[in-house]
C-alpha cells in the first residue's frame, strides 16, 4: 500500500507539472509578439510610401448604379462589340487570369496584332491615366479606344455600334432601365459609362502585403521583407509607390541607354511622343502598377520580357544604373509575389 500511495503521489505530481508547463507554454504563446526595432522601422517605411488598396463594396451602390454595372458587365462580355463578332473585351482582358491574356501582344478582331502588350484591367480605374502612353485620363475614355481600334475590336464608327445594339431588344430594355433620365438611352456616352462603371468594380483584394501594411507582421516572409527593404532602398519606390505601387506617373524608359538594348525589342515604340510629338515625350510610358505582377506577364509596354527576375534586373540597370546580385533579384521577386490579391466576385445581381 505504501508503494502504491507513493506511485499515486508521484503520478499526481507529474500531472501537476505537466499541466503547469502547458499553462506556461500557452501563456507565452498568447503573448503579443513585440516586433524588433528593425521590423518596426521597415513597417513604418513601407507605410510611408505604400497604402493598402481601397475596397469595392456593391452594397454601397444604389439600385440604379447596380443596373449600370450589370449592363457594363454584359457589354464587356459581348462579342457584338467587335466588328466581326469574333471577340469581346474579355478576350484580351481575361477576368479569371488577372485581366490579361499573357500574350506578348494580342490579336484583334481582324486577326492582326498590335505593338503593345495588353495591360491588366484589374485596378486600372485607380490609375492616374490609361493606356501605356497615358494619353487618356479616365476609364470611360479608355473604354471607347479599343472598340474602334483597327487592330483591336475594329468597329468603324459610333453609329455602327449604336445601331447594332439597338437591333437587340434586350439591350433596348437594359439601357432604358439603366439610364431612365436620358431621352436617347443608347449612345456612345451611355455605352462607355456603363463599361466604365463595371470596370471600376474590378479591384483585387486580400493580398498578403496589404495585411502586412495593416499590422500583421507575419503576413509576409523574411525573404519578402528583405525584398521590400531592397525595393525601397535601391530606389524603386519613387516611381512604384501609392496604393497601386505604380500607375500614378509616367517615366522615360529607359533613363540609361535604350530600352531595346535591354529587352531585345525589335519595334522601337516612342511612347507618349506618338500623340504629343514633343521631343521630351519620346520613350515616355506610364509606370505600371505592380499589384498582381507575378500573374500579369509578359512585361513592359511591348511584352518583350516574360521572366519577372529578368524584368527586375532590366529596371535596375535601365532606370537606376545599378546591377543587382542574384540574391537581391530573388528577394525583390519574392516581395512582388506578396502583391498577388484575390480576383473579385462579379455577380452583381440584386433582387
CA distance 195 to 335: 33
Distance CA(210)–CA(228), nearest Å, equals 13
And the C-alpha cell for 213? Answer: 501594411
Residue 93 CA from chain centroid, whole number: 12
| Cβ neighbour number for residue 134 with a 10 Å cutoff | 21
C-alpha atoms less than 13 angstroms from C-alpha of 350 in its C-beta half-sphere? 14
Number of H helices, E strands in the chain: 14, 2
Flag whether the pTM goes above 0.75.
Answer: yes
What sign does the dihedral 175-179-184-190 (CA atoms) show?
A: negative
Is the separation of the CB atoms in 52 and 210 below 8 Å? yes
Q: What is the pLDDT of residue 349?
A: 75
Pick from 127, 297, 290, 286: nearest CA to 207 = 290
Show contacts of 293-299: CB within 8 Å, 24+ apart: 293/336, 293/339, 294/336, 294/337, 294/339, 294/340, 295/97, 295/98, 295/100, 295/340, 296/98, 296/99, 296/100, 296/102, 296/119, 296/120, 297/102, 298/102, 298/103, 298/104, 298/117, 299/117
* pLDDT attached to residue 14: 58
DSSP-assigned letter for residue 286: E
Kind and range of the H or E run holding 33? none
Q: Grid coordinates representing 133?
A: 502612353
Q: Which three cell numbers stand for residue 333?
A: 521577386
pLDDT at 6: 57
What is the block-wise mean pLDDT of the chain (351 residues), using blocks of 10 residues?
54 53 49 76 97 94 96 97 96 97 96 94 97 95 92 95 96 97 95 97 97 97 98 97 98 97 96 96 98 98 98 98 98 98 88 55
Task: Give residue 34's pLDDT.
Answer: 72
Would you say 322 and 234 are in contact if contact means Cβ atoms under 8 Å apart? yes
H/E element holding 281? none
Q: For residues 147 and 99, what is the distance between their CA atoms, to the nearest angstrom?
A: 17
d(CA 49, CA 63): 37
Amino acid at each position: 500500500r505504501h508503494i502504491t500511495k507513493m506511485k499515486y503521489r508521484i503520478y499526481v505530481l507529474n500531472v501537476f507539472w505537466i499541466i503547469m508547463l502547458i499553462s506556461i507554454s500557452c501563456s507565452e504563446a498568447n503573448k503579443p509578439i513585440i516586433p524588433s526595432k528593425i521590423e518596426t522601422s521597415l513597417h513604418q517605411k513601407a507605410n510611408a510610401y505604400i497604402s493598402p488598396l481601397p475596397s469595392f463594396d456593391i452594397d454601397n451602390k444604389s439600385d440604379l448604379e447596380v443596373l449600370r454595372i450589370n449592363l457594363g458587365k454584359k457589354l464587356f462580355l459581348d462579342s457584338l462589340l467587335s466588328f466581326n463578332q469574333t471577340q469581346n473585351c474579355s478576350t484580351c482582358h481575361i477576368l479569371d487570369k488577372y485581366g490579361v491574356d499573357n500574350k506578348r501582344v494580342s490579336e484583334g478582331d481582324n486577326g492582326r496584332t498590335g505593338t503593345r502588350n495588353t495591360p491588366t484591367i484589374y485596378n486600372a480605374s485607380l490609375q492616374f491615366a490609361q493606356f501605356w502612353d497615358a494619353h487618356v485620363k479616365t476609364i470611360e475614355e479608355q473604354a471607347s479606344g479599343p472598340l474602334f481600334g483597327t487592330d483591336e475590336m475594329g468597329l468603324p464608327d459610333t453609329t455602327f455600334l449604336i445601331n447594332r445594339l439597338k437591333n437587340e431588344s434586350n439591350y433596348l430594355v437594359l439601357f432604358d432601365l439603366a439610364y431612365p433620365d436620358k431621352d436617347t438611352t443608347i449612345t456612345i456616352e451611355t455605352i462607355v459609362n456603363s463599361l466604365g462603371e463595371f470596370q471600376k468594380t474590378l479591384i483585387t483584394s486580400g493580398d498578403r502585403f496589404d495585411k502586412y501594411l495593416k499590422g500583421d507582421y507575419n503576413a509576409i516572409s523574411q525573404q519578402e521583407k528583405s525584398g521590400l527593404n531592397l525595393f525601397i532602398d535601391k530606389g524603386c519606390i519613387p516611381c512604384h509607390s501609392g496604393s497601386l505601387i505604380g500607375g500614378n506617373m509616367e517615366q522615360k524608359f529607359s533613363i540609361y541607354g535604350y530600352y531595346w538594348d535591354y529587352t531585345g525589342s525589335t519595334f522601337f515604340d516612342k511612347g507618349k511622343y506618338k500623340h504629343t510629338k514633343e521631343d521630351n515625350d519620346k520613350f515616355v510610358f506610364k509606370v505600371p502598377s505592380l499589384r498582381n505582377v507575378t500573374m500579369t506577364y509578359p512585361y513592359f509596354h511591348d511584352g518583350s520580357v516574360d521572366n519577372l527576375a529578368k524584368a527586375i534586373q532590366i529596371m535596375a540597370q535601365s532606370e537606376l544604373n545599378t546591377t543587382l546580385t542574384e540574391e537581391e533579384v530573388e528577394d525583390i521577386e519574392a516581395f512582388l509575389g506578396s502583391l498577388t490579391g484575390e480576383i473579385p466576385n462579379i455577380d452583381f445581381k440584386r433582387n
